[in-house]
A and B are shown apart, each in its own frame.
Chain A
């Protein structure tokens, strides 16, 4: 157990629907990151939050949004789902903001949420 908890583990839904993925970071970590892993795209960085604020943005679609709450858990919302959104969505957490002030920025990953869009 890495200490990063993701729910649900599996989710099957239909095109056009909306889902919410949830992540609880490891105790003491202030940053949460979301990544999408698919067979053809590899591991794509979506977005990072640090202590409730958006800190870095990657290839996140406009149909997707995320937030980090005061208790530091995070949610990734995926709407108007398409077949191509089927993937493993990973959450990771780290102590710092990724800027290197604390040395190496080691990410601790959750086990992932597997989304299947039919």
Chain B
């Protein structure tokens, strides 16, 4: 099946770390993605991870992948007010054509 699940809201204080979690169902996904949507804008790719990797770090972002549990997380270190946005987890699935399936998005609130 194709399903990506995320919690809907997360609130953190400025300077703290944020951890956004995601579970997916298609074990054949080759790549998993994190996108960010700021108010009034389209989604922008933040980072992605290849399925044979456990971890990927990119500046303040750390992606962890547990393929056995089909669990993906995004950690944002030293969260800033500018990080307030909706974060989407996504996977590419092959069901007679490749589709990128997105979770519902986690709305991150950063309190000053």
CB-contact partner of A109 in B43, B50, B101, under 8 A? B43
How many contacts A-B (CB < 8 Å)?
73
The CB with the most chain A CB atoms within 10 A, among B45, B96, B100, is that of B100
Evaluate contact between A105 and B42: CB separation under 8 angstroms: no
Q: Given contacts A42-B105, A109-B42, is CB(A104)–CB(B96) below 8 Å?
A: no
Q: How far is the CA of A47 from the CA of B99 in the complex (A)?
A: 9
Interface size on A (CB < 8 Å)?
28
A48 to B109, CA, bound (A): 32
What A residues does B92 contact at CB under 8 A?
Answer: 98, 100, 105
Q: By DSSP majority rule, is chain B's interface helix, strand, loop, or mixed?
A: strand
Please judge, given known A-B contacts A2-B44, A42-B103, A109-B43, whether A104 and B31 are in contact too, CB under 8 Å: yes
Using C-beta atoms within 8 Å of the partner chain, give the interface range for chain B. 20 to 34
Q: Are B99 and A56 in touch, CB under 8 angstroms?
A: yes
**By the criterion CB–CB under 8 Å, are B44 and A100 in contact?**
no
Which chain B residues lie closer than 8 Å to A58 at the CB level?
Answer: 99
Task: Report the minimum CB–CB distance from A3 to chain B (whole Å).
Answer: 11
What 4 pairs between A and B have smallest CB-CB spacing? A56-B97, A109-B42, A98-B98, A42-B104
Residues in A lying within 8 Å of B, measured CB to CB: 2, 4, 33, 35, 42-43, 45, 48, 55-58, 90, 92, 97-100, 103-112
